[in-house]
Amino acid sequence: MIQDAIELSREALVKPFEGYHKRLPDGRCQAYPDPGSGGHPWTIGWGSTGPEIEPGSVWTEQQAQQALDRELMSKALGVLKLSPGLGTADDRRVAAIISFAYNCGLGNYRISTLRKRVDQEDWEGAAAEILKWNKAAGRVLAGLTRRRQAEAKFLA
């Protein structure tokens, strides 16, 4: 069950919206600054961040895939711990929340009204709430708006 939701999240939401950046001619990828801040957190592959990623970091596509899979599993386990009832939800709904947590973090999910709606199994309310998370550094970003719209469709 959870593995299916992780795969759906990875292929339908995370990879398409994160993209594989900055692809080098040999297929590896190089770190790039966060689009919202123009700096930290530095990001690589399909949206991986962390203290080891800094300007000039280069990964193989395999390293990027492994990092993505580890982080998606971590986020899946985290959202299920925060919202145990989500474990019985449709894979599409679980995938949307995993994608959200991958992009916004478990801390933001934990304190959000989105989580309250998920815990209430208010899927229309959850879809409306997720749309509000389309800003970075206080600015609405078109890419985040499109991602939240896709996640909302998975929730409704």
- By annotation, the residues acting in catalysis are 18
Q: Which DSSP string corresponds to the chain? A: -HHHHHHHIIIIIIHHHH--BTB-TTS-EE-B--TTTSSSSPEEBTTEE-TT--TT-EE-HHHHHHHHHHHHHHHHHHHHHH-GGGGGS-HHHHHHHHHHHHHH-HHHHHHSHHHHHHHTT-HHHHHHHHTT--EETTEE-HHHHHHHHHHHHHH-
